[in-house]
A and B are shown apart, each in its own frame.
Chain A
């Protein structure tokens, strides 16, 4: 076997963690998006009870820290007989937590569509559902894109916390190797660079996507 010169000899091990980090980001953000839509719409519901439940959910998840939520799911849930894998817990907690923040984006964007647009829909005799689906949502989604992009980057960086529940992501591999090799400088510099190399192209891609979606409209 050909020896890889340092510090790159560390990469194969770190690489295994990257896969976990990417998976967490993908599934976590998918769940977060779904949760954001449900809670965001819930907070706009006609029904008081639904509004209340959605608000309680949002405040609970925003008012407690992600790390403790992870610990809670990891250490406490098994006492209730609920067993998840570390990956499932990571995705679940990330999705539920970032979804709570995302719900505010959903709610704000929907409210930001001017009332006059709704009135134009009524004047064309559209049903409330058609007005939501064909007039409000498309405009709201466009407004949601930039803040959701930011949230996605935040989530990617937030995945580092799952290393605390022994999920072998990029950060976890880094800390593990530090213990065995003591090459802290190299390890954590590489880890930083890898996170950046994941986040930055994502930022650029999101920006491109936004521009594509906004084409022709002002």
Chain B
């Protein structure tokens, strides 16, 4: 479903990601862990087309994301191509990024109406059932600022889901929340995972959660994938010295 092939990314002189190779199967749930500044956000942002790779290729659902083929050669993608492939990807941000000038219902219907071309009735019907699913059926007429962080994040998840992306990206979606609100958001993620319809790429510091829902854990350090494997193996018996250090540091600070 997703394929990173020899992807590198630099900001000016700073090389943030180096030679990333990563393949994710349809419906697979992959958790990305690693210390702050290791390049996790940059990795998912490239997949959301918010950041352009310096070199290498990314494929989504069999299509090149940042390139297209012209007479057998790879050329940089134009806006039209980007929009086509981008429609397969959705993302939830650390800071929710809801639209503050729209009520909750409108936050969730805006893109289905104007991007997918749904009628208002269709869009509202689906938005309401999605909002009910994340436990916010009673907040349709509220503004984002009137909601708690956990509620806002659940709206953001609903807003991404109604676009029916094949791949969902979650970038530390609980990091900005008060500890008592983390659970309600993780619960929603678990439900999406349990449905098994969506490929998920989850950047997280919630190790217990990652262990429970992920099919595979990817450990990134210093812009490289240092180790990956099933949760039992990576958490239970990490091979790499740096992974061991990272995990033990984590257990101590939590």
Contact of B87 among A125, A128, A130, A142 (CB under 8 A): A125
Q: A119-B50, A123-B160, A125-B83 are in contact. Are A217 and B111 (CB under 8 A)?
A: no
**A-B contact count, CB below 8 Å?**
63
* Contact of A13 with B by CB under 8 A: no
Q: A117-B99, A217-B101 are in contact. Are A124 and B110 (CB under 8 A)?
A: yes
Residue in A closest to B88 when the chains form the complex, CB atoms: A125
* Contact of B217 with A by CB under 8 A: no
User: Considering the chains assembled together, what is the distance between the CA atoms of A134 and B99 in angstroms?
Assistant: 10
Are A120 and B146 in contact (CB-based, < 8 A)?
no
A contact patch SS: helix
* Contact of B114 with A by CB under 8 A: yes
- In the bound complex, residues from chain B placing their C-beta under 8 Å from that of A139 are 100-101
Interface size class of A (residues with CB under 8 A): 20 to 34
> Interface size on B (CB < 8 Å)?
28
* Contact of B235 with A by CB under 8 A: no
User: Considering the chains assembled together, what is the distance between the CA atoms of A4 and B142 in angstroms?
Assistant: 57
* Contact of B4 with A by CB under 8 A: no
* Contact of B194 with A by CB under 8 A: no
User: Considering the chains assembled together, what is the distance between the CA atoms of A126 and B79 in angstroms?
Assistant: 11
Q: A120-B93, A134-B110, A216-B143 are in contact. Are A125 and B115 (CB under 8 A)?
A: yes
- In the bound complex, residues from chain A placing their C-beta under 8 Å from that of B110 are 124, 134
* Contact of A65 with B by CB under 8 A: no
Chain B 77-102 per-residue mask, 1 if CB under 8 angstroms from chain A, else 0: 00100010011011101010111110
Are A218 and B100 in contact (CB-based, < 8 A)?
yes
Q: Which one of A124, A127, A218 has the highest number of Cβ atoms from chain B below 10 Å of its Cβ?
A: A124
* Contact of A138 with B by CB under 8 A: yes
Contact of A124 among B103, B146, B159 (CB under 8 A): B159
Contact of B163 among A119, A125, A127 (CB under 8 A): A125
- In the bound complex, residues from chain B placing their C-beta under 8 Å from that of A76 are none
User: Considering the chains assembled together, what is the distance between the CA atoms of A125 and B88 in angstroms?
Assistant: 9
* Contact of B48 with A by CB under 8 A: yes
User: Considering the chains assembled together, what is the distance between the CA atoms of A127 and B101 in angstroms?
Assistant: 19
* Contact of A122 with B by CB under 8 A: yes
* Contact of B57 with A by CB under 8 A: no
Chain A 108-142 per-residue mask, 1 if CB under 8 angstroms from chain B, else 0: 00000000110110111111101000110011001
* Contact of B145 with A by CB under 8 A: yes
Q: A138-B101, A139-B101 are in contact. Are A127 and B50 (CB under 8 A)?
A: no
User: Considering the chains assembled together, what is the distance between the CA atoms of A125 and B86 in angstroms?
Assistant: 6
The 8 A-B residue pairs whose C-beta atoms are closest, nearest first, are: A218-B145, A124-B111, A120-B97, A216-B143, A123-B91, A116-B97, A138-B101, A125-B87
Give A contacts to B, CB under 8 Å: 116-117, 119-120, 122-128, 130, 134-135, 138-139, 142, 216-218
Give B contacts to A, CB under 8 Å: 48-50, 79, 83, 86-87, 89-91, 93, 95, 97-101, 103, 110-111, 114-115, 143, 145-146, 159-160, 163
**Given known contacts A122-B50, A124-B160, what 17 new A-B pairs fall within 8 Å (CB)?**
A116-B93, A116-B97, A117-B97, A119-B50, A119-B97, A120-B99, A122-B86, A123-B50, A125-B83, A125-B87, A125-B111, A127-B115, A134-B114, A135-B99, A216-B143, A217-B101, A217-B145
A to B CB contacts below 8 Å, 25 in the list: A116-B95, A119-B48, A119-B50, A119-B93, A119-B97, A120-B97, A120-B99, A122-B50, A123-B90, A124-B110, A124-B163, A125-B111, A127-B115, A128-B79, A130-B115, A134-B110, A134-B114, A139-B101, A216-B103, A216-B146, A217-B100, A217-B101, A217-B143, A217-B145, A218-B145
